Structure 1
Amino acid sequence: MKCFEITENHSTVATKPIKPLTPEQARLEALKRQKDNVSKALNAERKRQKVAKAQKSLQNALVEELPT
């Protein structure tokens, strides 16, 4: 695509104004975002703990190999 085609396509698209949400809809959207954020945080924490466990295991394996 050429630059003028991209500009031309974006300028011809009509955008609709976004209606404000009702308080009930806003609450549902906020709860959905909160659920998604908590899910991401939970997955990140699980990955962090998995990495920490693997690092500890690797460290223990290295310590066991070293002659004392």
Structure 2
Amino acid sequence: MRIKEIEQRIKTSPLTPQQARLDALKTQKDNVSRALDSERKRQKVVKAQQNLTKALFA
């Protein structure tokens, strides 16, 4: 982190419990969204590999 970023975080007041909960939920949503995208890509690759195998040996 840069010094300015650290200073800015120090100057801001601590989050209220409600704000902290919202931040946590937003972070959780982002993580789940990334995991879902990764899983879809993984399944796409597996399906493509299966189709390639079928095409080669059919």
Same fold (TM over 0.5): yes
Asked if 1:39 corresponds to 2:57, the answer is: no
Residue deviations 1:18-58 (CA, integer Å, cap 9, x gap): 42111000000000000000000000000000000000000
Match status 1:28 vs 2:22:
yes
CA RMSD, 1 decimal = 2.0
Q: Of the two, which has the highest radius of gyration?
A: 1
Q: Which protein is richer in helix relative to its size? A: 2
User: What aligned pairs does 1:1-20 form with structure 2 within 5 A after superposition?
Assistant: 13=4, 15-16=7-8, 17=10, 18-20=12-14
Q: Take 1:50 and 1:33, find their aligned partners in 2: how far apart are those partners?
A: 26
Structure 1 gaps of 5+ residues are 1-9
Q: TM-score, normalised by structure 1?
A: 0.70
Over the matched positions of the two proteins, sequence identity in percent amounts to 59
TM-score by length of 2: 0.81
Name the CA distance, whole Å, in 1 between partners of 2:13 and 2:54: 59
